[in-house]
Amino acid sequence: MNSRIQQLVAEVTPTVTRLRREIHHHPELGMQEFKTSQLIQRELNRIGIPFRAPVANTGVVGLIQGKEPGPCVALRADMDALPIQETTGLPFASQVEGICHACGHDAHTAMLLGAAEVLWQLRSELAGTIKLLFQPAEECNPTGGMPAMIADGILESPPIDAAIGLHVDASLTTGTIGYRIGALSASSDRFYITITGKAAHGSAPEAGIDAIVTAAQVIMAVQTIVSRKIRALDSAVLTIGTIKGGDRYNVIAETVTMEGTCRTHNPLVTELIPQLLEQTIKGICEASGCSYKFDFIKGYPSLICDERITLLVRDGLSQSFAPEKLFNILEPRMGGEDFAFLAQRVPSTFLRIGCTPEGVEKPVPAHNGGFNPDENCFAYGVTALVQGALALLKGLH
């Protein structure tokens, strides 16, 4: 089976590379992936895989039914590009001014199409179902595309038993794959604070209520949330990124507005932070006589990889990857990933696919116009999806 998979992956890899370049050439922002959606549907039609489209506007859901009944394993790729100007100078660089695939979602879509073609050829030997999730708008925090896919019924008919997502990773060498049990990405929430006092002449503070002094106390006090209220072993970042207030040098400011973000891994801490923020703001504003408005916008939750699913997938991948190429990522990342919404609903795992050629010391990171994952990583990504899916079909049976 193993050499057969290798052979099938080798056969589809040139197509994966060609499709990735085609998608890269025509990038589309989240929820506008119409051409990308058409390309996916065209390829699924070519292979012969039945699908449902559109799902969540531009998404596509393919279904590979095995010969025997069994569990349903979902494989997910995101499809959208970023509002960033490409600077790679590649012959297949973005044709669209100011938009490019700087996060590698072109590669994810192409690799999932490659894995789909391999799994389709193996369908007579499969017990269970593979659900192919081509998802829009991963970059559209705080809503993302995954909640819309879930609302559009992807968890049903048949119900998904486990899911695998993946992302190219410039910090890892081509040929290596990282996995992790537990938190892999951070929750990314944002908040808005308005503090309102009372304007007065700058020479008569007793006649007003100074919103700037109150805001200053709030800023300092919220910094103690992470250091004094959160367990030292739990990670959290709390940043106030903007502050605006006051109109004139000799007027006591009536209003200050601030915006911030917080990032956490432990879902219990994610829940706790807005309560602690409001408690702190409320206390200080009450003491100073200001009123306040506090809005907390939930973004992507932290992506939690299920232990059992991750270990099953790792064991499956170990048939194709040497132990030194397949490793546990020691620390979670602080970035966001909307696959987390799916991982909240079904036990899931997420793989980081190394995409920097050996010897390159300072690779261009994702979300940079020069980002260009090594195309040699595609065969590894396809293999990982195929081996991971097979391992789960077998392991969950």
User: Which residues are at the interface with Zn ion (CB under 5 A)?
Assistant: 103
Return the number of the residue (103 or 281) whose C-beta is nearest Zn ion. 103
Return the number of the residue (103 or 162) whose C-beta is nearest Zn ion. 103
Closest approach, Cβ 103 to Zn ion, in A, equals 3
Name residue 252's beta-bridge partners: 200
Return the number of the residue (148 or 303) whose C-beta is nearest Zn ion. 303
Is 374 part of the annotated catalytic residue set? Answer: no
Return the number of the residue (27 or 208) whose C-beta is nearest Zn ion. 27
Closest approach, Cβ 138 to Zn ion, in A, equals 6
**Is the Cβ–Cβ distance between 225 and 276 less than 8 Å?**
yes
Residue partners of 222: CB distance under 8 A and separation at least 6? 238, 240, 260, 277, 280, 281
Cis bond upstream, residue 69 (ω within 30) = no
Active-site option among 43, 80, 189, 337: 80
Residues of the chain by 3-state class (helix, strand, coil), percent to 5? 40, 25, 35
Pairing of strands 177-179, 291-297: unpaired
Closest approach, Cβ 336 to Zn ion, in A, equals 8
Is 80 part of the annotated catalytic residue set? Answer: yes
**Is the Cβ–Cβ distance between 355 and 174 less than 8 Å?**
yes
Closest approach, Cβ 249 to Zn ion, in A, equals 42
Return the number of the residue (144 or 197) whose C-beta is nearest Zn ion. 144
- 200: enclosing H helix or E strand: strand 200-201
**Is the Cβ–Cβ distance between 95 and 365 less than 8 Å?**
no
First CA to last CA across the chain, in angstroms?
18
Measure Cα distances from 292 to 156, 192, 194, 203, 208 in Å.
44, 10, 5, 24, 16
Three-state SS at 241:
strand
- Look up tokens 């970035």; give the residue: 335
Pairing of strands 162-173, 348-356: parallel
**Is the Cβ–Cβ distance between 276 and 204 less than 8 Å?**
no
Return the number of the residue (269 or 303) whose C-beta is nearest Zn ion. 303
Closest approach, Cβ 305 to Zn ion, in A, equals 16
Return the number of the residue (179 or 339) whose C-beta is nearest Zn ion. 339
Active-site option among 138, 139, 161, 338: 138
**Is the Cβ–Cβ distance between 111 and 389 less than 8 Å?**
no
Closest approach, Cβ 368 to Zn ion, in A, equals 11
Report the residue closest to Zn ion, judged by CB. Answer: 103
Closest approach, Cβ 168 to Zn ion, in A, equals 8
Catalytic residues: 80, 138
